[in-house]
Amino acid sequence: MKNPIVTLLTDFGTKDHYVASMKGVILRINPQCTLIDITHQIKPQDVEEGAFVLASAFSYFPKGTIHLAVVDPEVGGPRDPILIVTDHYFFVGPDNGLFSLVLHKEKVKEAFKLTENRFFLPKVSDTFHGRDLFAPVAGHLALGISPKAFGRRIDSWKTLEFQGPLIEKKSMVGKVVHIDSFGNLITNIEEKNLGHFVRGIPFHILIGKRRIEGIQRGYWEAERGDLLALIGSSGLLEISVNEGNAQKVLKVKRGDPIRIQLK
Amino acid sequence: MKNPIVTLLTDFGTKDHYVASMKGVILRINPQCTLIDITHQIKPQDVEEGAFVLASAFSYFPKGTIHLAVVDPEVGGPRDPILIVTDHYFFVGPDNGLFSLVLHKEKVKEAFKLTENRFFLPKVSDTFHGRDLFAPVAGHLALGISPKAFGRRIDSWKTLEFQGPLIEKKSMVGKVVHIDSFGNLITNIEEKNLGHFVRGIPFHILIGKRRIEGIQRGYWEAERGDLLALIGSSGLLEISVNEGNAQKVLKVKRGDPIRIQLK
Amino acid sequence: MKNPIVTLLTDFGTKDHYVASMKGVILRINPQCTLIDITHQIKPQDVEEGAFVLASAFSYFPKGTIHLAVVDPEVGGPRDPILIVTDHYFFVGPDNGLFSLVLHKEKVKEAFKLTENRFFLPKVSDTFHGRDLFAPVAGHLALGISPKAFGRRIDSWKTLEFQGPLIEKKSMVGKVVHIDSFGNLITNIEEKNLGHFVRGIPFHILIGKRRIEGIQRGYWEAERGDLLALIGSSGLLEISVNEGNAQKVLKVKRGDPIRIQLK
């Protein structure tokens, strides 16, 4: 593989040796790899958050990128380690739903349960498959080894339920699915769903104890410190405060409802 | 361009997909790039802090490095996206003063407003020019495309006022411009200004509610836990506590005054 | 050197320009380097924590990797800057015990006090040897310059006392040496020491105000939210909570005791 790129997404944080150990293992197998962190600050064991962040970032990388993702509460237990090959990318990680949202956007070509332990570290711990199993598989993939060498073909994998917004007569009820480091509240309401629902009818948005009128194009259309709604850079309805923090203003948390109310 | 290096400085944090998306975009255009984070922990929307950290780091990189900086409270609004070419580097980002301090140290060769959207992503969001506009421009620059291809030549750009210290009869009054992760208080008093002012006359330093006698060469010259003043590694007067945290001891914040008092 | 890899471990945090300046310096000397962060979140001045994290990560990197580590409370003072060459790696940093734990695992081939200032930046500050001295030495090493060019051969260096567990008649008393970002409590009790001590006799573990029966293989063997003991991925006894945070549950801190009590 020319210029192999491996991305890493974990809930390991960056204060310990965990991420560096994984990178060392990959580079020992293929020192030509370019390693890119997606994030290591997924909330511990929060597979759903990992799935969201991965799905938001993966598609910007070059075709052939190997996406290594480890949010793995059941490490060492019965969940399988898997490799999913799509039209554009490779995904390596635990079979616990972490790739659910990615696979709404990518077409699967083939998938494998990772069973060939000649590609793992000689000793696989029961607590750190990121280093002992997933990183070496990613390193070997980056050498150009064929996906089918790594294990047994599978044709199903775990998926998380990601419920879309519910539509009632004159309102659509979604929820906050991610809160970013600016405090922007990202919802599960897609631009096109919103458009189909409102069809030009005026509406307001109810969230926390506040009401927001309509949608702006960008932060700058609101006064500094004002709440606004917009379609964010991932194509999802987002609640923000211009040069402020919507999460602190509204005191909502992930999972809280947002309502689009037609007038 | 051989071994192109792109640095990134943002206020995006590292828990979301934002920085990784920018890196993916750059690597899709030029997979040969070496990507180096300056920091992503600029306080949200704090252009002044971004300017300080960028100006402290940029000059250590090889000639030809592309410095991509995005602290961009007016994203999508009227501020222009720009490219500044200096004797040694390329700077890509919003025209909001973020490059002000850099340009005290670098000679500008040419500058451009980024208008050629064939170098942007096909769809440019109103909230994430880092990914949709600045990253692809940096990627194309790293391919060796001539700066003048990216837009219209400009000969002025926004600069922030960075006030130097004020001199009164027997005292010089500066301020804290940055507090680092050790709690060191970095001021706007440059080594040479201090030298010109004191000209060998004994002095003390007043900050918070404390008085410090003279200047030390290094942390180790103070007792463990003691306050001291020194010329820090950026050539600026700095207040520290040996193996401690001056910010916690003095409870000062950015912008607070520091006074050099001749005896 | 082909594909030179330089790792960085510091207590500098990632919000300031410090780490980026070091990377710029290295790349200016050798733009071919692959730079990998081990961590920059060592607690300020905590040499012991730095030693632990470095020792946990270094051995996963390819032979020939240059490990640059700077936790340096005495910077600018009397402590020496050193280079230690082992059978597999190069270690560059201050002579303050930071490499103590590494050198339990690696055989030293040769060691040098860094005295040849032609390999340093032209001006060496008294507060930032990471940038001015250690980074340029690492960069030059990555060019393939012979270790002996950098200074004077030495045959001793500072080592920290890392006390192992104490054995009493029917109990073994160790301590917590690291708490990771999941809240796992990593102790100084090695798997083989534990095995020698218990020799198949049933035992329980006392830590904080709690008692834990025996050892599990992995997190998944405990109920969600339950305390457990296991041999962690570094071969050390570790106290965890399945999908939880043992540090928060037990309210222990680094240095606190753990007791293995035979029945």
Assess B143–A contact: CB distance below 8 Å, yes or no.
Answer: no
Assess B218–A contact: CB distance below 8 Å, yes or no.
Answer: no
Of A12, A32, A132, the CB nearest to C181: A12
Amino acid present at C203: F
Mean pLDDT for A179-199 is 95
Q: Give pLDDT, residue C3.
A: 85
Domains C5-153 and C166-262 share a fold: no
Q: Give pLDDT, residue B220.
A: 86
Assess C30–A contact: CB distance below 8 Å, yes or no.
Answer: no
Q: Both tokens of residue B25? A: 């975009």
Q: Give pLDDT, residue B2.
A: 79
Mean pLDDT value across chain C: 95
How far is B257 from B238, CA to CA, in rounded Å?
12
Confidence band of C2 (pLDDT split at 50, 70, 90): confident
- Indicate the helix (H) or strand (E) that contains A90: strand A90-94
Assess A219–B contact: CB distance below 8 Å, yes or no.
Answer: yes
Nearest to C120 by CA among C98, C95, C149: C149
| Half-sphere CA count of A18, side-chain side, radius 13 A | 26
Q: What is the DSSP string of A126-153?
A: SS-HIIIIIHHHHHHHHTT--GGGGEEE
Q: What is the 3-state secondary structure (H, E, C) of chain B?
A: CCCCEEEEEECCCCCCCHHHHHHHHHHHHCCCCEEEEEECCCCCCCHHHHHHHHHHHHHHCCCCCEEEEECCCCCCCCCCEEEEEECCCEEEEECCCCCCCHHHCCCEEEEEEECCHHHCCCCCCCCCHHHHHHHHHHHHHHCCCCHHHHEEECCCCCCCCCCCCEECCCEEEEEEEEECCCCCEEEEEEHHHHHHHHCCCCEEEEECCEEEECCECCHHHCCCCCEEEEECCCCEEEEEECCCCHHHHHCCCCCCEEEEEEC
pLDDT at residue C161 above 90? no
CATH superfamily ID and name for C166-262: Bacterial fluorinating enzyme like (2.40.30.90)
Q: Give pLDDT, residue C208.
A: 93
Mean pLDDT for A212-238 is 93
Mean pLDDT value across chain A: 95
Q: Are A120 and A139 in contact (CB under 8 A)?
A: no
Q: Give pLDDT, residue B169.
A: 85
The answer to whether the Cβ–Cβ distance between C16 and B7 falls below 8 Å is: no
Assess A35–B contact: CB distance below 8 Å, yes or no.
Answer: no
CA-based nearest residue in chain B for residue A60: B24
Of A17, A73, A127, the CB nearest to C243: A73
Q: What is the pTM of this model?
A: 0.96
Min Cα–Cα distance to chain A from C182, Å: 7
Min Cα–Cα distance to chain A from C122, Å: 32
Confidence band of A3 (pLDDT split at 50, 70, 90): confident
Summarised one tens digit per residue, pLDDT across range A45-70 is: 999 999 999 999 999 999 999 999 99
The answer to whether the Cβ–Cβ distance between C24 and B60 falls below 8 Å is: yes
Assess C62–A contact: CB distance below 8 Å, yes or no.
Answer: yes
Q: Which chains touch C (3 or more CB pairs under 8 A)?
A: A, B
CA-based nearest residue in chain A for residue C218: A126
How far is A193 from A172, CA to CA, in rounded Å?
10
How far is B206 from B200, CA to CA, in rounded Å?
18
Q: Both tokens of residue C147? A: 């270790």
Q: Give pLDDT, residue C70.
A: 98
Judged by DSSP in three states, A52 sits in helix
Q: Give pLDDT, residue A132.
A: 98
How far is C150 from A64, CA to CA, in rounded Å?
42
Q: Give the count of beta carbons closer than 10 Å to the beta carbon of residue B109.
A: 11
Of C37, C62, C219, the CB nearest to A127: C219
Q: Which among C15, C32, C47, C123 is the top mutation candidate for probing chain B, defined by the most B β-carbons within 10 Å of its own β-carbon?
A: C15
Q: Are B181 and C15 in contact (CB under 8 A)?
A: yes
Mean pLDDT for A137-144 is 98
Q: Give pLDDT, residue B226.
A: 94
pLDDT at residue A161 above 90? no
pLDDT at residue C1 above 80? no
Q: Give pLDDT, residue A40.
A: 98
How, if at all, do strands C185-190 and C236-241 pair?
antiparallel
Q: Which of A160-164, B110-114, C20-24, C106-110 has the lowest mean pLDDT?
A: A160-164
How far is B9 from B106, CA to CA, in rounded Å?
18
Tell me the CATH class for B5-153: alpha beta
Confidence band of A169 (pLDDT split at 50, 70, 90): confident
Residue spans per domain, chain B: 5-153, 166-262
Q: Both tokens of residue A39? A: 């994030």
C246 interaction partners in chain A (CB closer than 8 Å): none
pLDDT at residue A1 above 80? no
The answer to whether the Cβ–Cβ distance between B218 and C44 falls below 8 Å is: no
Assess C74–A contact: CB distance below 8 Å, yes or no.
Answer: no
Confidence band of A121 (pLDDT split at 50, 70, 90): very high
Confidence band of A220 (pLDDT split at 50, 70, 90): confident
Q: Give pLDDT, residue A56.
A: 97
Amino acid present at C28: R
Q: Give pLDDT, residue A95.
A: 98
263 residues of chain B, pLDDT tens digit each: 778 999 999 999 999 999 999 999 999 999 999 999 999 999 999 999 999 999 999 999 999 999 999 999 999 888 999 999 999 999 999 999 999 999 999 999 999 999 999 999 999 999 999 999 999 999 999 999 999 999 999 999 999 988 889 998 899 999 999 999 999 999 999 999 999 999 989 999 999 999 999 899 988 889 999 999 999 999 999 999 999 999 999 999 999 999 999 98
Rounded to 10°, the helix A135-142/A18-29 angle is 30
Amino acid present at C230: L
Judged by DSSP in three states, A28 sits in helix
Q: Give pLDDT, residue A210.
A: 96
Q: Give pLDDT, residue B21.
A: 98
Summarised one tens digit per residue, pLDDT across range A33-50 is: 999 999 999 999 999 999
